[in-house]
Amino acid sequence: MAFTAKILLLGSGELGREFVISAKRLGAQVIACDSYAGAPAMQVADGHEVFSMLDADLLAKAIEKHKPDFVVPEIEAIRTEVLADFEARGVTVVPSARATIMTMNRDRIREVAAVELGLRTSRYRYAETLEEVLAGAAHTGLPCVIKPVMSSSGKGQSTVRTARELEAAWTYAVANMRGDRSRVIVEEFIAFDYEITLLTVRSREGVSFCPPIGHRQERGDYQESWQPTPMSSAALSAAQDMARKVVDNLGGYGIFGVEFFVKGEDVIFSELSPRPHDTGMVTLISQNFSEFDLHARAILGLPVPEVRLAGGAASAVILADREADDFRFEGWQRRSRHPAGKSICGCSASRRPGPIAGWAWFWPRRRMRTRHGPLRRRLRARCGLFMGDEGEGPSRPLPQAGGECLGMASTAISS
């Protein structure tokens, strides 16, 4: 069977699964890799490999074995020097080996943004010891945010409000870091009005943007997101200008999740991921082309169409509090009966540490403008995640993604 391209996907989580589906629709062959068997992307890929991508020898062997046209990282914990070596030999790393190296570590991408490009960021210092954490907090002031320079989905991040909390925050960050670097970033706490993800596509045709996505986090964990989010044209233009500068600096083709804090008309660069973003899962129903479709098209050198919104939308994630192989969803069928709503649930079952995640999306009526009242009541979540043998164990209710998030998305459309 002939394929348009061969892709080696490094990391096979829920985001990777959606990327595999998009890439295969465009005729690509995908080999999914991760450190455990049965990962979500492996379930839909053409083949798979199980190994630690922090093992340089095993990573090199996988690339040599499959001889891919594209190596597509989906996680942070990768021996990026191996990718740089293969790129020098002619293998295409997405978006580029340099971009992967820079963005796998918060210290490097922060230096690119703040020092090379002069973008506005929060005050910050790096620390590799508790003493350096204390000095960093003295520089930024309290409250401050402490997080590993390398982590996944915000793990290890905490907000410190008093000096007594600094040691616990340092310990928490180191315990939840990815890779083998015991290094954290201590940064100024920005009392922002809201934060956004600006999905930025860099392709052969240039740089384009998806409508801004608002999102909410707790301790660095993604909780809810909605698209579009209301923001002024001046703030949006500033965010797009900064995003364009940083992705052009990094180079390569694909989608970038660029995060910003917004306070009034001021836009502050936060972070960047050179791949589909968890807050962008909402694009599976909000846009004519999802973030995964856009990523695949840009990688394969295909034209990137104009992105159109089908309506305001919101997404929420269920974060489990334990490992489980036996779990089920209940109540999502009732959610699907609402004429203004559309729900999709999915999750991965594995023995690996970390949360089991399930998503549900809600589609508002285009003309909904209120943030409260009937909208909140109509879209109240009735979905739960049950874990344990024969359904035993407490349920995990879906976060309230309806009224507030969809109200903001609908307000953005009506305005």
pLDDT in tens, 235-264: 999 999 999 999 999 999 999 999 999 999
On whether 318 is known to bind a ligand per the annotation, the reply is no
Tell me the C-alpha to C-alpha distance, in Å, between residue 393 and each of 33, 199, 355, 384.
Answer: 32, 38, 16, 12
106 has binding-site annotation: yes
Is 404 known as a binding-site position? no
Angle at 299 between CA 7 and CA 42, to 5 degrees: 35
Per-residue confidence (pLDDT) for residue 60, from 0 to 100: 98
CATH topology (fold) of 6-93: Rossmann fold (3.40.50)
pLDDT, tens only, 44-102 = 999 999 999 999 999 999 999 999 999 999 988 899 999 999 999 999 999 999 999 98
* Minimum mean pLDDT range among 102-106, 169-173, 246-250, 290-294: 102-106
Q: Does 187 count as an annotated binding residue? A: yes
Which of 177-181, 269-273, 372-376 has the weakest average pLDDT? 372-376
| Contact residues for 141 (Cβ-Cβ < 8 A; gap 6+) | 123, 188
Report the distance separating Cα 24 and Cα 7, nearest Å: 10
Q: For residue 190, say whether it is annotated as part of any ligand binding site.
A: yes
Asked whether residue 218 is marked as a ligand-binding residue, the answer is no
- 278 in a labelled binding site: yes
Please give the pLDDT value at position 105. Answer: 77
Q: Say if CB 254 and CB 276 are below 8 A apart.
A: no
CATH of domain 123-188: 3.30.1490.20
* Cα dist from 294 to 26, 41, 163, 220, whole Å: 11, 18, 44, 26
- Pick the range with the lowest mean pLDDT from 19-33, 289-303, 375-389: 375-389
61 is in an annotated binding site: no
Give the C-alpha separation, 119 to 254, whole Å: 22
Check pLDDT > 60 for residue 347.
no
Question: Which residue ranges make up each domain of the chain?
Answer: 6-93, 123-188, 190-310, 315-415
How sure is the predictor about 313, in pLDDT bands with cuts at 50, 70 and 90? confident
Is residue 154 a known part of a binding site? yes
The answer to whether 406 is annotated as binding is no
Is residue 12 marked as binding? no
The residue that leads in pLDDT, 106 or 33, is: 33
pLDDT reported for residue 334? 59
User: pTM for this structure?
Assistant: 0.84
Give the DSSP letter of residue 241: H
Enter the tokens of residue 363: 């589609």
Q: What average pLDDT does the segment 102-107 reach?
A: 82
Least-confidence region, from 1-10, 206-215, 290-299 = 1-10
Taking only the tens place, the pLDDT of each residue in 123-149 is 999 999 999 999 999 999 999 999 998
Determine whether the annotation assigns residue 237 to a binding site.
no
pLDDT computed for residue 176 by the predictor: 86
Task: Report whether 251 belongs to an annotated binding site.
Answer: no
Is 74 known as a binding-site position?
Answer: yes
Q: Using alpha carbons, list the distances in angstroms from residue 307 to 198, 200, 290, 293, 335.
A: 13, 11, 9, 11, 28
Residue recorded with tokens 């949006």? 236
Q: Is 155 annotated as a binding residue?
A: yes
Report pLDDT for 308.
95
Tell me the fold of 190-310.
D-amino Acid Aminotransferase; Chain A, domain 1 (3.30.470)
What confidence category does residue 411 fall into, taking pLDDT thresholds of 50, 70 and 90?
A: low
